């Protein structure tokens, strides 16, 4: 059923979403259901629902059911009282077809809308609008994106080996904790591992040159990230304290100024070669290069992996009968006597499918925003809607990735979903990277520059794990047991 619907879909943009059948006629134009409510009261009530009474998933689900539509008007925090210049009014798009308009740069503008109409202060990034806030129509976007792509390309030779050797350190720490305490909390060892690996691959530096950065660099990034994103993220601490203290105003940069400066100085000193390339090959100034490099390192890469890898670990460790056995078997068969690397994981169909399914089921960056560049008609399956220039579209990945017209049994985690030919077709509708998995990041779109690196890194994580252990179990954010490979 879902596959039949999938074949009837012709979502834009035509370049990245291959049309499988002739274009069907445009569905009937309908008024966008939903409301932004009364000024102040509507946004405040939606904010309380979003953070407190419902939580993001229920917030979107309830409205989708109420309006019997995957496209509707609502408000997204932050809002009221201390965000006077933020307009929380959005049009939510929650199915694969309407969501895909967010990737069409002819229709939408991505300037300053990474987390909605609210934009964290540029003081967090040296008073520079870094990569993710730039629209492809701005000439700087191409320079900065090419710079990010260049860093990734140049680190390809050491990416896998650096990752695996940092995983070594992580698993040793975890094993020691399990032996002494019976279980091991994994977030800190994992973040240390991600941090050191990324510093080496993206900056070309070794954290051992600065004990303070080696020990605390990851925590400095956590604090810097948290202050920028707090007004937009549900933490889950006691209410109404969260609403009063975390969601009512933006925290100032000066609280993390000292630690950001330490990271800046470290990158400036230890990342000379990369910085020179930014200046000479990509016409970026020195400061501009360092702030962009720190942003890609700290926000995109460290932030992204810090969300995604834990979800990979807990999905696997919470135990789906027989799954670990199948994955272990595939990993050991494909690696054989060769060493683990990009080539060997590319042959692991089930491992890759497991990674894709985790990205579908639990997209690490759940919200994407884009502003209408002009008036246009947005189509969903059975209706079309008039969008006015300047209106803000808000895509909620979690529900778009559970679109029953595309994915069979969308609410079920199916590790083999992306295997075989049907699985390859479905990659056209896997959107975690702000574009289809079959698309390519470029200077004319806003797809994640590291789209392929992220998948391959997650595959390496799983493959390394199953070369090391026969099985492992988790309980929340703790690893409770590992059985060493016999």
Q: Quick check: helix, strand or coil at residue 368?
A: strand
Q: Could you tell me which stretch among 82-90, 121-129, 295-303, 316-324 binds ligand HEM (CB under 6 A)?
A: 295-303
Q: What are phi and psi of 111, to 5 degrees?
A: -65, 120
CA distance 298 to 41: 36
99, 124, 305, 354: which one binds ligand HEM (CB under 6 A): 305
Q: Does 304 bind ligand HEM (CB under 6 A)?
A: yes
Among candidates 28, 29, 46, which has minimal Cα distance to 37? 46
Q: Does 368 bind ligand HEM (CB under 6 A)?
A: yes
Q: Does 110 bind ligand HEM (CB under 6 A)?
A: yes
* Residue 368 vs 383, nearer CB to ligand HEM: 368
- Shortest distance in whole angstroms from residue 357 CB to ligand HEM: 15
Among candidates 417, 427, 384, 368, which has minimal Cα distance to 18? 427
* Residue 134 vs 203, nearer CB to ligand HEM: 134
Q: Could you tell me which stretch among 29-37, 165-173, 329-337, 362-370 binds ligand HEM (CB under 6 A)?
A: 362-370
Q: Does 453 bind ligand HEM (CB under 6 A)?
A: yes
Residues 396-435: x/- map of binding to ligand HEM (CB under 6 A)?
------------------------------------xxx-
The answer to whether the CB of 130 falls within 8 A of the CB of 291 is: yes
* Residue 19 vs 281, nearer CB to ligand HEM: 281
- Shortest distance in whole angstroms from residue 364 CB to ligand HEM: 4
CA distance 212 to 207: 9
Question: How many chain residues are in contact with ligand HEM, going by CB under 6 A?
Answer: 27
Q: Which helix (H) or strand (E) holds 276?
A: helix 272-281
- Shortest distance in whole angstroms from residue 359 CB to ligand HEM: 8
32, 92, 148, 221: which one binds ligand HEM (CB under 6 A): 148
Rounded to 10 degrees, the C-alpha dihedral 376/380/383/385 comes to -20
CA distance 146 to 169: 32
Q: Does 448 bind ligand HEM (CB under 6 A)?
A: yes
* Residue 33 vs 341, nearer CB to ligand HEM: 341
- Shortest distance in whole angstroms from residue 430 CB to ligand HEM: 12
CA distances from 451 to 279, 436, 443, 483 (A): 25, 10, 14, 32
State yes or no: 201 annotated in a binding site: no
Q: Does 107 bind ligand HEM (CB under 6 A)?
A: no
Terminal Cα distance for the chain, rounded = 44
Output Rg (C-alpha) for the chain, integer angstroms: 22
CA distance 107 to 253: 34
CA 148 remoteness from chain centre = 16
Q: Does 439 bind ligand HEM (CB under 6 A)?
A: no
Neighbours of 443 (CB within 10 A): 14
- Shortest distance in whole angstroms from residue 423 CB to ligand HEM: 20
CA distance 466 to 472: 9
CB closest to ligand HEM, residue no: 304
Q: Does 114 bind ligand HEM (CB under 6 A)?
A: yes
Q: Which two tokens stand for residue 151?
A: 């860093």
Residue 153, burial from CB neighbour count under 10 angstroms (0-12, 13-18, 19+)? exposed
Q: Does 449 bind ligand HEM (CB under 6 A)?
A: yes
Residues 6+ positions from 297 with CB-CB distance below 8 Å: 198, 199, 202, 203, 267
- Shortest distance in whole angstroms from residue 136 CB to ligand HEM: 7
Q: Does 256 bind ligand HEM (CB under 6 A)?
A: no
* Residue 217 vs 364, nearer CB to ligand HEM: 364
* Residue 61 vs 154, nearer CB to ligand HEM: 154
108, 194, 454, 462: which one binds ligand HEM (CB under 6 A): 454
- My answer on whether omega of the bond before 13 falls inside 30° of 0, hence cis, is yes
* Residue 371 vs 405, nearer CB to ligand HEM: 371
Q: Which two tokens stand for residue 47?
A: 């904010």
- My answer on whether omega of the bond before 219 falls inside 30° of 0, hence cis, is no
131, 315, 414, 478: which one binds ligand HEM (CB under 6 A): 131
Q: Does 130 bind ligand HEM (CB under 6 A)?
A: no
- Shortest distance in whole angstroms from residue 66 CB to ligand HEM: 27
Q: What are phi and psi of 230, to 5 degrees?
A: -45, -45
Q: Where on the chain is the footprint of ligand HEM (CB under 6 A)? A: 110, 114, 131-132, 134, 141, 145, 148, 152, 296, 300-301, 304-305, 308, 364-365, 368, 432-434, 446, 448-450, 453-454
Q: Which residues are annotated as a binding site for heme?
A: 448
Q: Which residues are annotated as a binding site?
A: 448
């Amino acid at each position: 059923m879902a596959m039949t619907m999938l074949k009837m879909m012709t979502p834009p943009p035509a370049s990245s979403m291959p049309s499988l059948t002739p274009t069907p006629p445009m569905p009937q134009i309908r008024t966008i259901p939903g409301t932004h409510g009364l000024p102040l009261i509507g946004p405040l009530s939606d904010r309380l629902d979003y953070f407190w009474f419902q939580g993001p998933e229920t917030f979107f689900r309830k409205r989708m059911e109420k309006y019997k539509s995957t496209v509707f008007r609502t408000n997204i925090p932050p809002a009221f009282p201390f965000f006077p210049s933020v307009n929380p009014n959005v049009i939510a798009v929650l199915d694969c077809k309407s969501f895909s308009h967010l990737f069409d740069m002819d229709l939408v503008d991505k300037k300053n809308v990474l987390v909605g109409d609210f934009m964290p202060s540029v003081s967090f990034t040296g008073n520079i609008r870094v990569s993710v806030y730039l629209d492809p129509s701005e000439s700087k976007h191409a320079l900065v994106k090419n710079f990010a792509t260049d860093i990734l390309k140049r680190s390809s030779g050491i990416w896998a080996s650096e990752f695996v050797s940092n995983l070594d350190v992580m698993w040793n720490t975890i094993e020691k904790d399990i032996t002494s305490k019976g279980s091991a909390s994994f977030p800190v060892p994992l973040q240390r591992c991600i941090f050191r690996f990324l510093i080496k691959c993206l900056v070309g530096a070794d954290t051992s040159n600065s004990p303070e950065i080696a020990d605390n660099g990851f925590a400095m990034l956590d604090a810097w990230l948290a202050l920028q994103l707090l007004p937009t993220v549900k933490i889950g601490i006691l209410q109404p304290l969260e609403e009063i203290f975390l969601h009512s105003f933006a925290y100032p940069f000066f609280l993390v100024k000292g630690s950001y400066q330490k990271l800046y100085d470290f990158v400036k000193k230890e990342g000379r070669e990369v910085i020179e390339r930014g200046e000479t090959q990509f016409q970026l100034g020195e400061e501009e290069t360092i702030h962009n490099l720190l942003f890609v390192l700290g926000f995109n890469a460290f932030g992204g992996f810090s969300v995604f890898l834990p979800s990979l670990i807990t999905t696997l460790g919470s135990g789906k009968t027989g799954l670990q056995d199948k994955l272990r078997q595939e990993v050991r068969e494909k690696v054989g006597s060769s060493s683990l690397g990009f080539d060997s994981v590319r042959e692991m169909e089930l491992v890759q499918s497991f990674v894709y399914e985790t990205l579908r089921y639990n997209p690490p960056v759940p919200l994407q925003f884009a502003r209408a560049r002009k008036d246009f008609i947005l189509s969903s399956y059975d209706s079309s809607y008039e969008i006015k220039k300047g209106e803000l579209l808000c895509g909620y990945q979690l529900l778009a990735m559970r679109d029953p017209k595309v994915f069979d049994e969308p609410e079920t985690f199916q590790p083999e979903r992306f295997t075989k030919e049907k699985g390859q077709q479905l990659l056209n509708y896997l959107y975690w990277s702000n574009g289809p998995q079959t698309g390519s990041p470029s200077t004319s779109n806003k797809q994640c520059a590291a789209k392929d690196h992220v998948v391959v890194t997650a595959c390496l994580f799983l493959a390394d794990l199953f070369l090391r252990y026969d099985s492992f179990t988790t309980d929340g954010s703790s690893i409770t047991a590992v059985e060493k490979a016999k």
